[in-house]
Amino acid sequence: MIPLLQGNTCVVGLQWGDEGKGKIVDFLAESADVVVRYCGGANAGHTVRLNGNKYSTHLLPVGILRPNILNLIANGVVLDPDALFKEIDQFIGQGFPVSPANLRISYKTHVVMPWHKAEDAARESASEGNSIGTTRRGIGPCYADKMHRTTAIRVADLVHEETLQRRIGQICADRNKVFKVLYDLPPLDWKEIFETYRDFGRRLQPFVDDTSQRLIDAWKSGQRIVFEGAHAALLDIDHGTYPYVTSSSCSALGLYTGAGAPPNCVQNFVGIMKAYSTRVGGGPFPTEQDNNIGSYIRERGNEYGTTTRRPRRCGWFDAMAVKYSVQLQGITHICLTLLDVLSGLEHLQICTGYKYKGSRLEGFRADMDTLADVEPIYETLPGWNGNITGCRRFEELPKEAQIYVKRLEILAGAPIKMVSIGAERSATLIR
Ligand code: GDP
Ligand code: IMO
Ligand code: MG
């Protein structure tokens, strides 16, 4: 473990996702014993590059890439068993063992069912011009059913086969009426769904556990835990740029309920931010560069979605947004990623404020109508040239890059302790 992090650590995104959380969780997992996913579902895509190979996880914690780590999928996740088993089979095929010895899933985790995916896609297609741009993985409808309660299915329910059959029958009958009227969808076949999910339940059974108890036991026995945040603060259902958000409490604030973790068990909150901004799907994005700058960043940063391959929208670093995320989540350390992508630009712009209806806004407003109307106030810094991925000490970076990092640190309001300058584990500088 890098010396600056004693105790348990939560890794979270400070922007709109895809900040490189996967790479940093993998890096920190070197001396961890347990890695926990606590929110979201197969809408996440976390990439780790190892010795030139690329590994993408959607539901599995990235601790799966290292031996001797217990990986927990906690209650706050929405689990698509079909996606999970495809992922497990893929990792096993690549030589990474996945078994109940290194993966446990909470019995309280909610299950993404075929009707959730159908509804997600149908709602998106029906809301022309107003769509959220979801990943269509059924995330929103599954969390909605979690709140509705009577129409939800949890991992624990999959193994009670008679009850499962009855509930799937009832829910399908209900959904078929609604889907026909609202979206003119063909009816769901309850029997086929039941048989598929019963079989998923049988395969899942050995992995099912009380993950909250597992992590409390691990903590009490002095093991190190890394909480792998998915998505990011600005996509959080309460604190993000609503309604263009995901449907979970995916900021650090959701960690305790999502993981079933006592609040005093986490000491470090590591916020991950890229050296610029990106966003996938709809919603306001004040510093977006829908021009040559945006294309330059997209191509150099390979800014295409890990989950949907959609081109990510790219823009300048937004210090207003990041400062909000840092404060909200009690960030103790920042890791700046993808700094190498900015090499070759003559000048870099940083948004240090917003103008709204002629005057300067005091702080960030996670409100669509305000944010869609703000005009960013920019500060300009000189750029640098050359490939910086080979640098192994912060001081080896071009002077302009060091100045840029130090300026972001002041604006963000927390110390930048790590700087990532390439996708490989080794391309990580500690300050
Ligand atoms: P996550 O969702 O936050 O885990 O991020 P993603 O994996 O979706 O997207 C981050 C992408 O950037 C991945 O393809 C990583 O391999 C890559 N990456 C991470 N850190 C760096 C970096 O410092 N430089 C470069 N060039 N790529 C990076
Ligand atoms: P990681 O963990 C980037 C976005 C979607 C969409 C909105 C709602 O890889 O950083 P959803 O399918 O969740 O209902 O879609 O949220 N979104 C993400 N964008 N990275 C992610 O995860 C995301 N997870 C959800 O693009 O705009
Ligand atoms: Mg991602």
| Nearest Cα residue to 112 out of 34, 185, 176, 196 | 196
Reference 305, options 85, 137, 94, 88; nearest CA is 137
As a whole number of angstroms, the distance between CA 368 and CA 200 comes to 40
- Are 137 and 86 a contacting pair, CB within 8 Å? no
**Sole residue written with tokens 């300050």:** 431
- SS3 assignment, position 130: coil
Q: Tens of pLDDT along the chain (431 residues)?
A: 455 589 999 999 999 999 999 999 999 999 999 999 999 999 999 999 999 999 999 999 999 999 999 999 999 999 999 999 999 999 999 999 999 999 999 999 999 999 999 999 999 999 878 899 999 999 999 999 999 999 999 999 998 999 999 999 999 999 999 999 999 999 999 999 999 999 999 999 999 999 999 999 999 999 999 999 999 999 999 999 999 999 999 999 999 999 999 999 999 999 999 999 999 999 999 999 999 999 999 999 999 987 788 999 999 999 999 999 999 999 999 999 999 999 999 999 999 999 999 999 989 999 999 999 999 999 999 999 999 999 999 999 999 999 999 999 999 999 999 999 999 999 999 99
Report which ligand 2 atom has the smallest distance to the Cα of 280.
Answer: 26
18 belongs to the catalytic site: yes
Q: Give CA separation, 301 vs 160, 161, 224, 263, 423, in Å.
A: 47, 47, 32, 36, 10
Residues in the chain: 431
DSSP reduced 3-state for 197: helix
Distance CA 399, CA 133 (A): 40
46 is catalytic: yes
Q: What is the largest CA-CA distance in the chain?
A: 67
18 lines ligand 1 (CB under 6 A): yes
**What are the tokens at 54?**
């690329």
Q: Which of 246, 251, 312, 314 to mutate to test the pocket of ligand 2 (most atoms within 8 A of CB)?
A: 246
pTM: 0.97
